[in-house]
Chains A and B, each alone.
Chain A
Amino acid sequence: MEEYGQWLKSAQGQVDGAFLATENNLIFAEYADGRTAWRVTATLTLPRGRHIATLDYISPSDTLLDDVEAAEQLVVRKVYCYAGVGPDGNPVVSRPFAPLPLLSYLPLVTKEPVPIEPIVCQYCGMVIMDYVGGQVTLPASRVAALTQEHWGEALCYGCSSKRSSQEAAKSKW
């Protein structure tokens, strides 16, 4: 969590009617109607020195504002905020806001094929495993389908990575 601290540390002050303070990757805001705290869970760097942060809403309770350890135990829902440099050159954080409605119609054209039998890599003979990323897992059936479409063989992630590296090296020569 330490990596988010740098821009948060200095980003505090009066924003959008709320006083924002930051400490240990937590954002505290005091609005006219009460206090709230959020914990930063991820950041994405944007153009023009901006960041977007994913926050876990912690609690509106006054007592938690002084108790960082207790606050970290209570996660209720996810929100977002923007952070960056304001017009006066000082760091600022926007008032946290809820996610937009999910674009649920997006994957309708890309339904996952459901494998009936385990998929075996045609190169190394191992059962093809899901590609597990930091946030999203690409099902094994999709990895196999992609390599089948591209190279005519259903390959596991490891073998397909080796093959693509070899082909890239060949094309240089």
Chain B
Amino acid sequence: MVISVGKSYDFKTSLRIGARASNAVQERFILSGWAVENVEGLPLFRALDIDFIVGAPGCGVFTVEVKGDQSAHATKNIYIETSSNDSTGSLGCLIYSRADYIAYYVMGAGACLMIPRKELQSWIARRIDDFTSVTIQAHATAKSSGTPVPIRVIKAEVPGCYLLYDLPVLGVE
């Protein structure tokens, strides 16, 4: 799971953000009646950047990659990472993932933008040059490159994109 942020985070903080996003998305699916299989730790799914397999009887099965973002609530942008580590040339998660959906979890807003991955990748190929590319210090030891794109643009232009909101906590906090 890759965390796109506007500033440097240590490894532990990145893991904590990722786990929070992963839990929130998993919770939302379970409460909607879907069965969720967490496959983050399995080699094939790690290679394909897939976090969950989600399914329900009669409704099919689909795969999800969760991406947590702590800055998107303030910036109103999604960070489309084209390279996760400039020195090794590793591709960014949104380019590399083979999941059916990218669940882009916006911390603070309690909202998750569900983006069909294939539609997003073809949109990126067509439109990425229309936005300004930036390089950030993603982690203490790695710089990443990418392009911030307004959430409203993604939502309007990528077909099949929609927002899921967190549920209010019922009786327990």
Question: Which of A81, A85, A87, A142: most chain B Cβ within 10 A?
Answer: A142
- Closest chain-A Cβ to B28's Cβ sits at a distance in Å of 9
Given A48-B173, A95-B170: A146 and B60 interface contact (C-beta under 8 Å): no
| A101 contacts the other chain (CB 8 A) | yes
B61 touches A138 (CB 8 A): yes
Whole-angstrom CA separation of A15 from B170 in the bound complex: 11
| B125 contacts the other chain (CB 8 A) | no
Given A52-B31, A136-B61, A138-B61: A150 and B47 interface contact (C-beta under 8 Å): yes
Chain B contacts of A164 at CB under 8 A? Answer: 43-44, 46-47
Chain A interface residue count, CB cutoff 8 Å, equals 58
Stretch at the interface among B33-41, B72-80, B130-138, B149-157: B33-41
Instruction: Give A contacts to B, CB under 8 Å.
Output: 15-16, 44-48, 50, 52, 54, 80-87, 92-95, 97, 99-104, 106-107, 109-112, 131, 133-139, 142-143, 146-147, 149-150, 157, 160-165, 167-168
Chain B contacts of A163 at CB under 8 A? Answer: 47
The residue on A at minimum CB distance from B100 is A110
A137 touches B61 (CB 8 A): yes
Chain B interface residue count, CB cutoff 8 Å, equals 45
Chain A contacts of B39 at CB under 8 A? Answer: 133
4 cross-chain pairs, A with B, having the tightest CB-CB distances, nearest first? A164-B47, A94-B171, A133-B37, A107-B60
User: Given A82-B170, A142-B61, 9 more contacts at CB 8 Å?
Assistant: A48-B173, A100-B32, A107-B59, A110-B62, A111-B60, A146-B48, A146-B50, A161-B43, A163-B47
- Closest chain-A Cβ to B90's Cβ sits at a distance in Å of 9
- Closest chain-A Cβ to B130's Cβ sits at a distance in Å of 25
Whole-angstrom CA separation of A83 from B169 in the bound complex: 10
Chain A contacts of B6 at CB under 8 A? Answer: none
A16 touches B32 (CB 8 A): no
Instruction: Give B contacts to A, CB under 8 Å.
Output: 19-20, 23-24, 26-27, 30-37, 39, 42-44, 46-48, 50, 53-56, 59-63, 98, 100-101, 114, 116, 119, 160, 164, 167, 169-173
- Closest chain-A Cβ to B67's Cβ sits at a distance in Å of 17
The residue on B at minimum CB distance from A159 is B44
Whole-angstrom CA separation of A112 from B61 in the bound complex: 8
Chain B contacts of A112 at CB under 8 A? Answer: 60-61
- Closest chain-A Cβ to B83's Cβ sits at a distance in Å of 15
- Closest chain-B Cβ to A22's Cβ sits at a distance in Å of 14
Partner of B116, one of A50, A80, A109: A109
- Closest chain-A Cβ to B25's Cβ sits at a distance in Å of 11
Whole-angstrom CA separation of A102 from B35 in the bound complex: 11
Partner of B32, one of A99, A147, A168: A99
Partner of A44, one of B30, B46, B48, B160: B30
A-B contact pairs, 6 of them (CB 8 A): A83-B172, A92-B172, A94-B170, A135-B35, A136-B61, A142-B61
